[in-house]
Amino acid sequence: MKNNLRQLATALAVTSLSFGGIHTAVWAAGNDDHDRMNRTSMPDGTMRMDNRWMAEFSVMSMDMDENQDGTSTLTTPEVTSSGFAMASPRMTMDMAMLMLMSPRYGAWQGMAMINYLDKRMKMVNAAGLAQPTMVSGGKGDSELAARYHPSNQLTLHLGLSLPTGSIDEIGLMMGNPNTVLPYPMQLGSGTYDLKPGLILGGPLGRWEWQAQALGTLRIGHNDRGYALGDRLDVDLLASRAFGRGWLIHAGMNYANWGNIDGRDSRINPLMSPYGDPNRQGGKKSEMDLGISFQPLMGVRLGAEYHKALFQDLDGPQMALDATWTLSAKLMF
C-alpha cells in the first residue's frame, strides 16, 4: 500500500487549500489522525484579499467511540479476546492551531503553522475492568509551505512538516507509570514530511467549486526506528455566499493512509492493537458542512462539522465518529 500511496500522492497532493482560505493539517497520531487535523480551515468566499496577511486561530475536537477492523465494528471484549491485554472504548483528540499566511508576491505565497494537541484514550483490560486513561498533550508537528498560482483556477503547493511534536510520550499502563504510549497517543511523526499538492476551482453559477488533493510523504525513519504511513487526501467542496457576509459550504473527503514502516521497540504490540505498526492503515470517506460570517471588515468566524460515512481499517483500531471545528480569521 505504501508504494501505491507514494505514487498517487506524488501525482496529486496538497495542504488542503480552500476557495480563498486554507484547509491544512498536522494532527499527529499513529494512524489516520496524524495528518487529518490539517483540514481545519474553511472556505473564505468573499473574504479573500491577496494583498494582505491572514492569521487564523482554530480549535478542533475529534471523537472516536468504537473499534473497527475492516468495515466491521468490534466491542472492546472482542478486541481483547483476540490476544490483546487492553483495548479502548473511546478516544478524543483536541487541537488548537495558529496559522499565518502571507500576501501574494507575484504568483507566490507563503504559510506557517503551529499547533497544540490534547489526546485522551480510555482503556479497559481483558477482564473488563477500567484502567487509567492514557493522556498526552503538547505541541504537535509544525509546517512551512509555499504556494504557486499559475492561474486563477490552479494552485500548486509544497509544504514541509517539521518534527516538533514528541514521539516519547509516556503514561501509566498495566501498573507501569513510565510506559511509552502507543502510536496514536504520540504528538508527532518524528520525521520531516513533504506535502505536495494541487487545487482546481472556479465559479459554478451562484456557487464556487473546488477539487483538491493533499499528499504526505515521509522522509526516512525517525529516531525511534519507524515512519508513519504515507497519506493521500482528496476533497470536493462547494460554497455559496448569501445575505450580508454569510457563507455556507459542503464537501466530501476521501483519505487513504498506510501502515507504519518499522516499529518503536519500546512499544509492546500485544499490549493493545494501537501499538501494532501493522494495524494503523486504512481508508475512509466523510462529509462536512460549514457556515461562516463576517461581523467586521477583515474578520471571519466559522464553524464546521465532519461526519464519517465509510471506513475500512487495518485494525482493530479506533474509528472516527465526528469532528467539530471553530475558527477565527483576521486579515491585516
- Give the strand pairing for 108-125 and 192-204: unpaired
Q: Which three cell numbers stand for residue 78?
A: 472482542
List, for residues 196-222, the tens digit of each pLDDT value: 999 999 999 899 999 999 999 999 999
Nearest to 233 by CA among 79, 25, 66: 25
CATH of 2-331, picked from 3.40.50.720, 2.40.160.40, 3.30.160.270, 2.40.128.130, is: 2.40.128.130
Distance CA 276, CA 92 (A): 20
State the residue for C-alpha cell 463576517.
294
Residues 6+ apart with CB under 8 A from 36: 25, 27, 62, 233, 255
* Burial class for 67, CB neighbours closer than 10 Å (0-12, 13-18, 19+): buried
> Residue type for 187, please?
L
**Number of helical (H) and strand (E) elements in the chain, helices listed first:** 2, 19
Nearest to 319 by CA among 74, 131, 24: 74
State the residue for C-alpha cell 479502548.
88
pTM assigned to the model: 0.86
List, for residues 224-253, the tens digit of each pLDDT value: 999 999 999 999 999 999 999 999 999 999
Q: Does pLDDT of 294 surpass 50?
A: yes
Q: What pLDDT sits at residue 266?
A: 97
